[in-house]
Amino acid sequence: MSRHWILLLGFLSLSWFWASRADAAQVCQDVMVGMSPGGNGLAPHAIYQTQCAWVAGAIAFDVRTRVYSAAWNHASADEALDAAIAQCGRHCVGQSFYTDFVWVAMADDDSAYGVSLKSAEDALRQCTFSGGRDCAVVLGGSSTAAPVYWGFSALSYDPATGASGRSFERRRRSVAVAEATERCGAPGCWTFAYQGGYAAIARSADGRLFAEWTPQKNVLINAERKARSACKRATGDKECKIVMSAGPEAVADDTARFIEETKRQLEHELERIEREHGKFPADAEQ
């Protein structure tokens, strides 16, 4: 029976994500308000004044499809909300705001969500109190910047066979876990899920596994060091070894492999069609 160890929501990769409270946002710029007449040997020059204005933002999302959109740097909250909904679709839930940040938590089973202008923790509480299962903060927005979606990645490893599998940047934790476990393909696959950054799995001499994760701003070696330390503390085994690790760089590798696999499948399908039906007319004329 496969065992799934799911990382609870911790410190995510962007430092502002865990700001304790959102503050109202202003955009300031220097505006020319006149010209100096010059004199006493000085040439005329522009006179500037710093002018600030409150700016509004909005975020819109569909819990079921995880489609989302946002608007920022708008003059009014209504204007920002209309823009976000227009991009996302009328079926989407929308929230406008004048604050620096907004956080959105969603249940893994799409049963609930939470939106907070205060903190990520508050969004998570709202989602949980609404009956959501396995809620996680996945979306962040700002009245002055583009939104960010924090996807889920997973590593899966079987200590008995050495089989492994991984999944990157999926919209739901359960999808990342299922995909990594399936790719691992062995009965004893042990799966660790995380959001962003780097992760590593360490194995003790007796086959026990320990996983750790670090934010994106840290390097892979930090995740490996943490996993090895956790293994040593729990087992006393000074020879704990890293058996699997991954970071953002692996996403590109995973995508490249997917493209190559898809290309090979298409080539095989084309060969099958040619065997059964002959070459396409364009090929036959050449």
Question: 């109202």: which residue's tokens?
Answer: 24
pLDDT in tens, 164-177: 999 998 999 999 99
Give the mean model confidence (pLDDT) for residues 11-18: 33
153-165 burial, b at 16+ Cβ within 10 Å, e below that, comes to bbbbbbbeeebbb
Q: Return d(Cα 173, Cα 161) in angstroms, integer.
A: 25
Q: Write down the pLDDT at residue 106.
A: 97
Contacts of 266 (CB under 8 A, 6+ apart): none
Higher pLDDT, 168 or 269: 168
Q: Write down the pLDDT at residue 274.
A: 76
In contact, 103 and 95? CB cutoff 8 Å: no
The strands making up 209-214's β-sheet, listed across from edge to edge, are 209-214, 198-203, 241-246
According to DSSP, the β-strands at 190-194 and 164-170 are unpaired
Helix then strand count (H, E) for the chain reads: 6, 16
In contact, 136 and 195? CB cutoff 8 Å: yes
Q: Write down the pLDDT at residue 71.
A: 94
According to DSSP, the β-strands at 113-116 and 152-157 are unpaired
pLDDT in tens, 184-213: 999 999 999 999 889 999 999 999 999 999
Q: Return d(Cα 1, Cα 173) in angstroms, integer.
A: 19
Contacts of 115 (CB under 8 A, 6+ apart): 59, 93, 95, 102, 103, 104, 105, 123, 126
- Decide: residue 250, CB within 10 A, 0-12 exposed, 13-18 middle, 19+ buried: middle
What integer best gives the mean pLDDT of the chain?
A: 81
Share of the chain above pLDDT 70, in %: 73
pLDDT in tens, 27-68: 566 666 566 676 666 777 676 666 666 789 999 999 999 999
Higher pLDDT, 134 or 259: 134
Domain ranges of the chain: 21-35+46-149, 151-246, 249-285
Query: CB neighbours (10 Å) of residue 71?
Result: 26
Question: For the residues of 117-183, what is the DSSP string, one character each?
Answer: SS-HHHHHHHHHHTT-SSEEEEEEEESSS--EE--EEEEEE-TTT--EEEEEEESSHHHHHHHHHHH
Side-chain-facing half-sphere of 244: CA atoms under 13 Å: 24
Dihedral sign from CA coordinates of 274, 278, 279, 281? negative
Instruction: Report CA 222 to chain centroid distance, whole Å.
Output: 20
